Structure 1
Amino acid sequence: MRPNMRVNRGELLYENHCQGCHQSIVHIRSQRRADSLESLQAWVRRWAEYRELGWDEEAIRAVVDYLNQRYYRIGLPPIGK
């Protein structure tokens, strides 16, 4: 799947399954728990399993890519630069 398509799919998955329980504030707080792509992926996987969403690796990666693109910017330039 192309990166842009994966980010779009990740956004849809996040909006439909994650956003109802928490707002974006958890991703922008100064002491957020995910500080690498590996830890972000672990958090997404943990919550997907907890919520029994049945996501495969592609779905988890799509949500990780969306969150990283939108909030975390791990390994990416800051927005606007």
Structure 2
Amino acid sequence: MSDEIKMSVSSMTRTKDKKALYVQFQDNTRMAEFELPELKLVYNKGFMDEEINQLMDYIKNETDYIYSLSKGVNPIKAIMKDN
């Protein structure tokens, strides 16, 4: 994966008795978002199919790391930081 692409990870969310977290990849012109644990592509703007497959492979290989990042996300702290 290119160093130019940045990854963001959400905290764990719950909707309708379903837990999920979101992983977002973006650069200056493109953005893709995936939902875990289903590894579902939620949004894509500008990434080619091959690149999406590479991002999915990255998520599959780094799932434990991504979940550990998610555990460290504090949404309240992030909101307060913006103010």
* TM norm. shorter chain > 0.5: no
| TM-score bucket of the superposed structures, by smaller chain | 0.3 to 0.5
Asked which structure has the greater RCO (Cα within 8 Å, sep 6+), the reply is 1
Q: TM-score w.r.t. structure 2 length? A: 0.39
The structure that is strand-richer by fraction is: 2
Structure with greater helix share of residues? 1
TM-score of the aligned structures, taking structure 1 as reference length: 0.40
